[in-house]
Structure 1
Amino acid sequence: MKLDGQNIELVSLHIPKTAGTSFRTILEESFGRRSVVRFDIYKSGEVYLKDKPIKGTSLGRKTRVIHGHFSYQDFVDRVDYDPNVPMVTWLRHPLQRTLSNYYFLNKIIADRLKERPEENLMKRMGRSLMEFVAQEENRNIMSRFLEGADLKQFKFVGIQDDFKEELVRFEKAMGWKGVVNRVHNATNANRESLTAEDRAFILEVNKKDMELYQEALRIRDQNQNKGELL
């Protein structure tokens, strides 16, 4: 049985390390904090609502917006919703998204273990940046989240690399006013320098994501040239 999403007014599909916390804050300011609900579907198939396993089929009567980590296909398969409800998402240059993902996980481990930067457990366990990149599960994350979807069916596909400017486009797309730029959860780590070979390898193994990212840029540029909103 599908989850009841008939009260949903907006679906925000958050791909990891693509302005999720910043964008959620904007949604909360627009809809009200209690109306924006964290919604996640994990690889195991478990569905979490407000960071807890969901019970029953209701997403809550007050829920107007869902925002979280779930693939497009999982959402379509698991939630009964009005297909006319707008869906939005953000993309990021694959190189930057991959680096941010790695250093974010690195920081989480360090914080949980209260270790000093020089200790770096991930490296001690044999999980250097390039080893992380080499693992299949860490590649083409954006493409996996959006598999089965056509970018043109989204009300808005933002480019995090131009976050401030993209908020203006988001306002126009949604017909909103007064959206304030909010930046949260930035990963400020001492990042190692990359060789040209490292950069080329990261982009090569994330080829699908690069193609997706370039498609989003093309759609944005074409529509802007036509004077359209998206």
Structure 2
Amino acid sequence: MILSVHIPKTAGRSFRTILQTHFKKGFLDDYVDGPLNRTLEESIKDANKFHKTYKFYRKYCYQLKGVDCIHGHFLPYKYRSECHNKNTMFITWLRDPIERLVSHYLYREKLFNEAEQQLPNTIKRRFSSFEAFCMNPKMQNCYAHFFYKFPLEQFAFIGISEYFDEDCMFFAETYLNTSLDIIPRKNTNSDKRKLVILDDTEFLNKIKALNSLDYTIYNLALEIREKRVSNDYE
């Protein structure tokens, strides 16, 4: 089984298309939790609640329905029972934390601008600016939130969004034993407007400091990818 952790605005929707196309009826979405809409304490509580009933889900919901891949917004800690299962692997995608914040903010703005009355229940607040968005503690260190008690080394594959095409092809060939003729692009933000604040070095340094946990995780993921790519060329 593949457990694919989709962190918002890291090309997860595009990658979902690849998984769904490959696994067909064996593919299952898990977007119930929405970790970024909860505090870490609430996310941990959700994960522990699910963990207590996981044997039931594994036997009757997954095995009987032939589920081979689960993809969505969830803490991998939720499925920690699978960590020692040699037939299960965890995968995820990461992106430069500031770039992810920009994309997340613009996506929310797009939703408000297009149809405020039809917004998802989870998106209730409109921020006055990108600066205000970044200063909100709930928007900081989302990788650290998602990876509670789950080190990067537990992941069999970590894609980097900046190398999306290359990493998708590697994943498909290595783990799905297939090749990709077309790399899907889903839910991408076509709004290329410039956020002037991004030219402010002092502001960027402040945001990097506020998201230091995420940059530590992201930089480690880059190192892991570099080793993988180096081994691939040997």
| TM beyond 0.5 | yes
Matched, 1:103 2:106: yes
Structure 1 residue 218: Cα displacement: 0.8
Structure 1 residue 81: Cα displacement: 7.9
- Tell me, in whole angstroms, the C-alpha distance in 2 between the residues paired with 1:46 and 1:110: 32
- Corresponding position of 1:21: 13
Higher strand share: 1
Matched, 1:89 2:80: no
Matched, 1:185 2:187: yes
- Corresponding position of 2:122: none
> After the TM superposition, which of the residue ranges 35-44 and 148-157 deviates more from structure 2?
35-44
Cα distance per residue 1:56-91 (max 9 Å; x no partner): 844351322111001122332xx6687320111000
- Tell me, in whole angstroms, the C-alpha distance in 1 between the residues paired with 2:66 and 2:26: 6
Paired residue secondary structure (2:183): coil
Matched, 1:68 2:72: yes
Paired residue secondary structure (1:90): strand
Matched pairs, number: 202
For structure 2, the residue ranges without an aligned partner over 5 or more in a row are 48-55, 118-124
- Corresponding position of 1:117: none
Preserved contact between residue 156 and residue 173 of structure 1 (Cα < 8 Å): no
AA in 2 matched with 1:11: L
AA in 1 matched with 2:209: E
Cα distance per residue 1:119-148 (max 9 Å; x no partner): xx935xxx3111110111100101211121
Paired residue secondary structure (1:155): strand
Higher helix share: 2
Paired residue secondary structure (2:19): helix
TM-score scaled by length of structure 1:
0.78
TM-score scaled by length of structure 2:
0.76
Paired residue secondary structure (2:85): coil
For structure 1, the residue ranges without an aligned partner over 5 or more in a row are 1-8, 48-55, 115-120
Superposition pairs for residues 104-119 of structure 1, below 5 Å?
104-113=107-116
Superposition pairs for residues 154-193 of structure 1, below 5 Å?
154-179=155-180, 180-189=182-191, 190-193=193-196
AA in 1 matched with 2:136: Q
**Aligned Cα root-mean-square deviation (Å):** 2.6
- Tell me, in whole angstroms, the C-alpha distance in 2 between the residues paired with 1:62 and 1:30: 14
Preserved contact between residue 104 and residue 187 of structure 1 (Cα < 8 Å): yes
- Tell me, in whole angstroms, the C-alpha distance in 1 between the residues paired with 2:98 and 2:61: 35
